[in-house]
Amino acid sequence: MKNLSQILLIDDEAHNREALSLLLTNTGYQVQTAASGEEALEILRKTPFEIVITDLFLPGASGIDILKTVKEESPYTCVILITGNASAETAVEAMKEGAFDYITKPLNFEKLKLQVAKALEKSRLVAENLYLRQQLRGKYKFDNMIGNSLAMQQVFSRMERIVHTDSTILILGESGTGKELVAKAIHFNGPRKDKAFVAINCGAIPAELLESELFGHAKGSFTGAVGDKAGKFEVANGGTIFLDEIGTMPMHLQIKLLRVLQEHEVERVGTSRRIKLNVRVISATNADLEEQVKKGNFREDLFYRLNVIPILLPPLRERREDIPLLARHFLQKTCNEQDRPLISISPAAMHAMEGHDWPGNVREMENVIERTVALTDGEVIECEDLPSNIGGRSDDFTSYRGPHVSPDGIDMNRIIGEIESHMIREAMEIGNGVKARAANLLGVNRTTLVEKIKRLGLEP
């Protein structure tokens, strides 16, 4: 992204032009001037500006004409209009067309400098936002997703067919298979790509806070609600909301979510005012929702509402042919991030990785590669550089081989505590520090895991 630093000043009166140019130059800006609308348009075709300051009434093209041209061709450029005619209708028209501000003559130079500073800040924020969105689109292009296996090609084919629809999507797969990556790829390749993508992990937020996070709340609606707050659905309006770990949502919130999906509107907690929504909903789970429906833990009507188009992501152990591709991808990514020359993986180490079941799936592989690169000094990753459960070497997290009862007896409680500590550390590492994910890997609920972490003193 180019770092612009110029202001275009347009005024047909020479003394105004010279005075304002001197003022802004002395303030630290680079100023280019034009004496007419036609001259300004010619300059704008060749040079981008962060700020355009223009008199409203000009010979030839008017200030409104210049404003419209700027907004069409350079959305991050702020336009400040100056006029001696304080017409309310003209001011309203200018603001509707996207003017940043409207200042009347005689000019207050201090006010103008303040408005220019504010416009500059806004211009750079908008430009940065556009740049980041372009980066995100590139990052989540379909051809950046890794997988030559038949299973993944089927996933990509389905994604391409649904990307331009507004259908509700349910992404199914084990923890670490890349469900959020798929959701982002669908969003950033579809018609909503210029709007917000809002993700919320339903399993990582306590049930008593999840309702407010999703639907928002009004001031005073509960203890601690010191002001009005928009929920994630409102923030995502016009774009996409991604509901991760949807299977953990409490039943009373499932009812409210179903109503939001049916009515396309939301009510903040503590108010009856309805807010219209235009949001694409993508949800994900590593749970068997059909089984949860049979057990009465998940509403059947909500399941069918969410499961309009299912996408099933296979675990890594079921697409082992993709392991070398993923490993090399993460290796290059990690070496770039750690600013070191690209290293390679020996055939033996790659064979060991292909034979590993990867219970944490793609996320586990990315963590293993990042850790291995950080701890390896050589130019080639060998088996002994990998964690012992993959390459056979012992280390702090994987050295345990099971207890043995000695003739003098053992302290079983201590040993059980060590086993639990070891498994929790390993699950937290695979789950990237997210307790809800670690709990899923261990087959316990999040509350139980939190209690064990406190009891065993494993909090950092």
Return phi, psi of residue 177, to 5°.
Answer: -85, -10
pLDDT in the model for residue 399 = 43
Share of the chain above pLDDT 70, in %: 89
The better pLDDT of the pair 398, 439 is held by: 439
Residues 202/244, Cβ–Cβ less than 8 Å: yes
Q: Is residue 4 over pLDDT 50?
A: no
Q: Is residue 249 over pLDDT 60?
A: yes
Q: What is the DSSP letter of 433?
A: T
pLDDT in the model for residue 427 = 83
pLDDT tier, 225 (very low <50, low <70, confident <90, very high otherwise): confident
- Of 120, 124, 47, 56, whose CA–CA distance to 84 is shortest? 56
Q: Is residue 255 over pLDDT 90?
A: yes
Ranges 47-51, 141-145, 226-230, 429-433, most confident? 47-51
Q: In whole angstroms, how far apart are CA 256 and each of 92, 240, 248, 289, 338?
A: 41, 18, 15, 18, 45
41-64: per-residue pLDDT in tens?
A: 888 888 878 889 988 888 878 888
pLDDT in the model for residue 128 = 65
Q: What is the DSSP letter of 387?
A: -
The better pLDDT of the pair 258, 60 is held by: 258
Q: Is residue 282 over pLDDT 80?
A: yes
Query: Residue 438 has which token pair?
Result: 């670690």
How far is 402 from 397, CA to CA, in rounded Å?
13
At residue 266, the 3 state secondary structure works out as: strand
Q: In whole angstroms, how far apart are CA 143 and each of 156, 159, 185?
A: 9, 12, 10
- Of 241, 223, 228, 325, whose CA–CA distance to 282 is shortest? 241
How far is 156 from 149, CA to CA, in rounded Å?
11
Instruction: Give the ranges where 356-432 is alpha helix by DSSP (H).
Output: 361-375, 388-391, 412-430
Task: Give the range among 62-76, 115-129, 311-325, 335-349 with minimum mean pLDDT.
Answer: 115-129
The better pLDDT of the pair 227, 341 is held by: 341
pLDDT in the model for residue 134 = 55
Q: Is residue 396 over pLDDT 70?
A: no
CA angle at 175 for the pair 260 and 395, rounded to the nearest 5°: 150
What is the CATH code of the structural domain delimited by 6-134? 3.40.50.2300
pLDDT in the model for residue 59 = 81
Task: Give the range among 144-153, 169-178, 310-319, 391-400 with minimum mean pLDDT.
Answer: 391-400
Is the pTM higher than 0.85? The answer reads: no
pLDDT in the model for residue 289 = 93
pLDDT in the model for residue 183 = 94
Q: Is residue 96 over pLDDT 80?
A: no
Task: Give the range among 69-83, 153-167, 171-185, 397-411 with minimum mean pLDDT.
Answer: 397-411
Q: Which CATH architecture has domain 412-455?
A: Orthogonal Bundle (1.10)
Query: Residue 61 has which token pair?
Result: 């093209």
Can you tell me the mean pLDDT for 103-122? 83
How far is 129 from 369, CA to CA, in rounded Å?
31
Q: Is residue 152 over pLDDT 70?
A: yes
Q: What is the DSSP letter of 298?
A: S
Pairing relation of β-strands 240-244 and 280-285? parallel
Can you tell me the mean pLDDT for 8-14? 89
pLDDT in the model for residue 318 = 92
How far is 286 from 269, CA to CA, in rounded Å?
29
pLDDT tier, 2 (very low <50, low <70, confident <90, very high otherwise): very low
Can you tell me the mean pLDDT for 28-50? 86
317-391: same fold as 140-314?
no
Task: Give the range among 165-169, 206-210, 258-262 with minimum mean pLDDT.
Answer: 206-210
pLDDT in the model for residue 260 = 94
Residues 381, 384, 389, 390, Cα dihedral to 10°? 30
pLDDT in the model for residue 109 = 82
- Of 423, 451, 444, 446, whose CA–CA distance to 434 is shortest? 446
DSSP string, 107-157: P-HHHHHHHHHHHHHHHHHHHHHHHHHHHHHHHT-GGGS---SHHHHHHHH
Q: Is residue 201 over pLDDT 50?
A: yes
pLDDT in the model for residue 293 = 95
- For the domain made up of 140-314, the CATH class stated in words is alpha beta
pLDDT in the model for residue 118 = 86
Can you tell me the mean pLDDT for 324-350? 91
Query: Residue 42 has which token pair?
Result: 């010619």
Q: Is residue 366 over pLDDT 90?
A: yes
DSSP string, 191-254: TTTTS-EEEEETTSS-HHHHHHHHH-B-TTSSTT--S-B--HHHHTTTSEEEEETGGG--HHHH
Q: What is the mean pLDDT of the chain?
A: 84
Q: Is residue 3 over pLDDT 70?
A: no
Q: Is residue 398 over pLDDT 80?
A: no
292-319: per-residue pLDDT in tens?
A: 999 999 999 999 999 999 999 999 999 9
How far is 13 from 105, CA to CA, in rounded Å?
13
Can you tell me the mean pLDDT for 334-342? 90
How is the chain split into domains, by residue range?
6-134, 140-314, 317-391, 412-455
pLDDT in the model for residue 273 = 82
- For the domain made up of 317-391, the CATH class stated in words is mainly alpha
- Of 137, 234, 235, 143, whose CA–CA distance to 191 is shortest? 137
pLDDT tier, 360 (very low <50, low <70, confident <90, very high otherwise): very high
